[in-house]
Structure 1
Amino acid sequence: MSQTVDRALSILPLLAEGPADLGQVADRLGVHKSTALRLLRTLHGHGLVYRQADQRYRLGARLFALAQEAMENLDIREIAHPHLVRLNESCGHTVHLAVYEEHEVLYIDKVESRYPVRMYSRIGKPVAITVAAVAKLLLADLSDTERRALAEQLDYPLYTARSTPNAAAFLRELDKVREQGWATDLGGHEESINCVAAPIRGADGRVAAAMSVSAPNVVVTADELLTLLPQVRRTADAISGEYSGRTPVKETPA
């Protein structure tokens, strides 16, 4: 039975490349046409493949509906949290997870620093959108038109001497972040707080969330915090792999 399931599932990535006829499916699976036809009929019965008028098969609408439903029900916070905890245990600093919703960037998870000096940030609270590293990553992924329109609408409070002063500077920063694939806030919101961040991507390659590590100068310097960037990016990549389905979750033996 497991071999039958394996063969049936192997048809789906084949058809993702484009429509294929019975002979092509049989050849790819290395089976007789009668076996391939039986598998295709089963998938067709569940709406996962569709037979066209030219007798070729393509992916069925039901498959896309299932994929959309699965994506809508994915909880990125639930997936990311164990990874954030492990990163926090490794480096000791505050770790945040943020998303972009309704023209705001919001923290949706936070793991506190082990050090006595704590950051004033709360889950559900909007971040300082023009300076926060997580915001830069989320907004850099917008289209050029969306980025420009948003940049022109924002206010640019000068929290510190390093704050982003205007829309032109903000757009330049977003272009830089988009190109390099990571972001920083080095005293832009609070003089004494530095932050490095990396993007979390979904199955479509778009940035679905952003995560960061933040620490005050009294605990670690900006240069020292930047040495954690590779670890932050690896953590973000691990979350991306799990969230997008590219990395199967290992099952715990019973």
Structure 2
Amino acid sequence: MGAMDKSTQAADGTVGKALQVLDMVAEKARPVRFNDVLAESPFPKATLYRLLQTLTSQGMLSYDEERQTYAPGIRLVRLAHAAWSQSSLAPVARPFLDDLSAEIGQTIHLAQLDGGQVLYVDKRNAATPIDMFSQAGKIGPGYCTGVGKAMIAFLKPEAREDAIKRQSFFRHTDNTLTTAEALRTELDTIREDGVAFDREEHEVGINCIAAPILSSNGRVIGALSITTSRQDYNMDDLTQLRPQLLSTAAKIAEAAEAWQFPG
């Protein structure tokens, strides 16, 4: 629900509340008890119970009577699979991610933008994987990740400002950009250079170079990054991978040209 403000949730009524509960259960990444959800819920106990019952009866959640836990339901899984196939860049990009990963032997991320935040839709691990936050399906911040900054930088001005306003500017590391003005300056540079960098801004020891994936009319449809550990690659080393990164981003954009992505 990070992409929706409180006024939007209120305007969406019961449907918005149900989706908010669905998000709370799904984000736990494990079956949860009623009290686990209640501890984080903005809704009264009776309202939350009613919403959980409705979601369960509709197959969006499943309920384990023995363990008394809720988890995403089969209907939700079917919808998620359909969304991944029809609206995600991942199926189109998969062969190009495989080729790039095999060529350079580093971790590759594919992402799309969700209300100013980053949705990781695919990932290819390096020959020697490194532990990091990003996994397919996870939501990450836009202001301190390479893919996030690459996408935000190439949004149209009004959409770019809206995305900037949605950032939390929490300091994850000593290198994190913590003001809107600092981010705007960085985005100007990214638009000039065509690539973005994460200089240990989200996780200590993790660097990346990223490029936007743009449609023929300049619309942002995603971003691609090459991610390494500080021990393996310094920033100069990453910069040397710029041609392969941009070439792969262009190939994905070309393959996706006829794809019907949500606006």
Partners of 2:216 and 2:152 lie apart in 1 by 18
Residue 73 of structure 1 deviates from its aligned partner by 4.7
1:100 matched to 2:143? The reply is: no
Please report how far the alpha carbon of residue 92 of structure 1 lies from its aligned counterpart in structure 2 after TM superposition. 0.9
Contact 1:92 1:113 in 2 (8 A): yes
Structure 1 residue 151 corresponds to structure 2 residue 164: yes
Provide Cα deviations, 1:36-57, integer angstroms capped at 9, x if missing partner. Answer: xxxxxxxxxxxxxxxxxxxxxx
Paired position in structure 1 for 2:245: 232
Counterpart contact for 1:203–1:244, Cα < 8 Å: yes
Code of the residue aligned with 1:162 in structure 2: it is N
Q: Percent of aligned pairs with the same residue? A: 33
For residue 208 of structure 1, what is the amino acid of its counterpart?
I
- Cα distance in 2 between the residues matched to 1:116 and 1:241: 29
Q: Specify the alignment match of 1:138 in structure 2.
A: 151
Flag the 1:210–1:235 CA change in 2: closer, same or farther, 3 A.
same
2:111 is aligned with what amino acid?
A: A
1:121 equivalent to 2:113? Answer: no
Alignment deviations for residues 136-190 of structure 1 (CA, whole Å, 9 cap, x no partner): 1111122222322332342211112211120111111112212222111111112
Q: CA deviation at 1:233?
A: 0.6
Q: Structure 2 matches for 1:143-222, cutoff 5 A?
A: 143-222=156-235
Alpha-carbon separation, structure 2, partners of 1:74 and 1:99: 10
CA RMSD of aligned residues (A): 2.1
Q: Distance in 2 between matches of 1:124 and 1:117?
A: 18
> Cα distance, 1:116 vs. partner?
4.6
* 2:253 equivalent to 1:244: no
Count of aligned pairs: 175
Q: Is the 8 A contact 1:147 1:171 kept in 2?
A: no
Q: Is 2:116–2:142's contact at 8 Å kept on the other side of the alignment?
A: no
User: Of the two, which has the highest radius of gyration?
Assistant: 1
Q: What secondary structure sits across from 1:108 in the alignment?
A: strand
Q: What's the offset of the Cα at 1:243? A: 1.3
Please give the secondary structure, in 2, of the residue aligned with 1:244: coil
Segments of 5+ residues of structure 1 without an aligned counterpart are 1-71, 246-254
